[in-house]
Amino acid sequence: MTIFRKAVLLCSLAVAFCLTASSAFAGPIWTFGDEDQGLLKLDYKAQFQFLNRDTGAGTDGDGSASEFNFRRNRLALMGAYGDNFGLYVQTEYIEDRNILPFGISDGGDGEMQMLDAVLRFKLNDSVNVWAGKFKYNLTRENLEACEAPLTLDRSTLIRAPFVSTRDKGVAVWGNLFDDKFQYRVDAMNGRNDSASSPESNPRVSARVHVSLLDPEKNYGYKGTYMGKKKVLTFGAAYQTEAAMAYGGTDEVDYSAWTIDAFAEYPIEDVGTFTLSGAYVNYDMDDAYKNGSPDTEVTGLTGEKNGGYVKLGYLLPNIPLQIFGRTEGWSFAKLDSVYDNEVSLYSVGFNYYVRGQNLKLTAEYSALDYDKNTDAEDLNTFVAQVQVIF
């Protein structure tokens, strides 16, 4: 069976499943305490995928590779007691994936992890205090909900060094001026492997955004509001950690800054247009030039700069959204090549059956190395079914 026929079969089965599924998607809710002030809600979130890569299989590694797998497989518990206290706990089963963003892996054992565990205190409408493990405040892309992106997924190239998408610490944030202005400040662990890092200093972030149309007033963003809001938001952030790594025998500081913009505008009987973009610069004092630096000051999450532009169009009378994305990144050192550059292009669509609770996404992407390296350019097709209960 050809890759095209496999993709068509999966898409057909996914659509059939979506059209026959139950419309009850709200997770169970429990109440407790005096006058039922306490609430608990359980959600299940899954993204099941079929992937095909044009390389990586066969005795020479030059044959196409395919697999079915879960991109995300999560249980989330949300709670609140009264108007001023809440919590969010989310676990995830990490699969032994073989087709990865930058190559093919033999896979490994799956494992459970505590993805989020955060206590949320609301002092008033403009001051919130969060403590625990949750997303740090730097790029909009990382802060966009995993289940509400415009494209198939967030950028694989935008992650900060020495951490994942989450970190442990405390954040203070809130909205001012009728929710048109949002501020965020956090102090997180940052690099936390004390055996190899020069010092154990907190990683501090500050982020602001201005919403000129409908406000984006939550802690998390969305990659698309599916035409339900008129949004024009501009954001900027700065992050720093002192003495984070070694460049040769010298301690080096880490800093990063970003600017971003997001616009979505629905026009009656025409459709909804989405445009977003960002630029990020991750700096480690050119540590990669000094002797034998820490390994992670180079590579995908090392010193780099770049950004993305994403476009979307949601049809007016059909729940079909077409999207495209382009990214360009310059790495201090990647795959043993200094000043290496990478370009990524993708096109695809979202077909919404029950909004984000049940949707089908398909995306084709091409990743190109702009300098001659031993690494191969990659072309990937992904079909995904997302379900939220």
* Cα–Cα distance for residue pair 200/194, rounded to 1 Å: 6
Cross-strand pairs, 87: 79, 119
* Cα–Cα distance for residue pair 62/72, rounded to 1 Å: 28
Which residue, 209, 85, 42, is CA-closest to 140? Answer: 209
Which domains does the chain possess?
3-26+131-388 (2.40.160.10)
User: 136-191, pLDDT tens digit by residue?
Assistant: 999 999 999 999 999 999 998 998 999 999 999 999 999 999 999 999 999 999 99
* Cα–Cα distance for residue pair 53/367, rounded to 1 Å: 11
Give me the pLDDT at residue 200, please.
86
Any idea which of 140-144, 299-303, 335-339 has the lowest mean pLDDT? 335-339
Residue 6 in this model has a pLDDT that exceeds 50: no
* Cα–Cα distance for residue pair 165/168, rounded to 1 Å: 11
DSSP letter for each residue of 304-362? EEEEEEEEEEE-SSSSEEEEEEEEEEEEEEETTEEEEEEEEEEEEEEEESBTBTEEEEE
Give me the pLDDT at residue 148, please.
96
User: 222-248, pLDDT tens digit by residue?
Assistant: 999 999 999 999 999 999 999 988 887
CB 291 within 8 A of CB 251: no
pLDDT band of residue 25 (cuts 50, 70, 90) is very low
pLDDT band of residue 370 (cuts 50, 70, 90) is confident
* Cα–Cα distance for residue pair 147/222, rounded to 1 Å: 9
User: 303-312, pLDDT tens digit by residue?
Assistant: 999 999 999 9
Which residue, 72, 73, 78, is CA-closest to 27? Answer: 78
Q: Which two tokens stand for residue 178?
A: 């009728």
Residue 374 in this model has a pLDDT that exceeds 80: no
Within 10 angstroms of residue 243's Cβ, the number of other Cβ atoms is 16
Give me the pLDDT at residue 95, please.
85
pLDDT band of residue 14 (cuts 50, 70, 90) is very low
Q: What share of the chain is helix, strand, coil (3-state, %, to 5)?
A: 10, 60, 35
With b for 16 or more beta-carbon neighbours within 10 A and e for fewer, the 10-45 pattern comes to bbeebeeebeeeeeeeebeeeeeeeeeeebbeebeb
Give mean pLDDT, residues 15-34: 59
| pTM listed for this prediction | 0.90
Contacts (Cβ under 8 Å, ≥6 apart) of 34: none
Residue 24 in this model has a pLDDT that exceeds 60: no
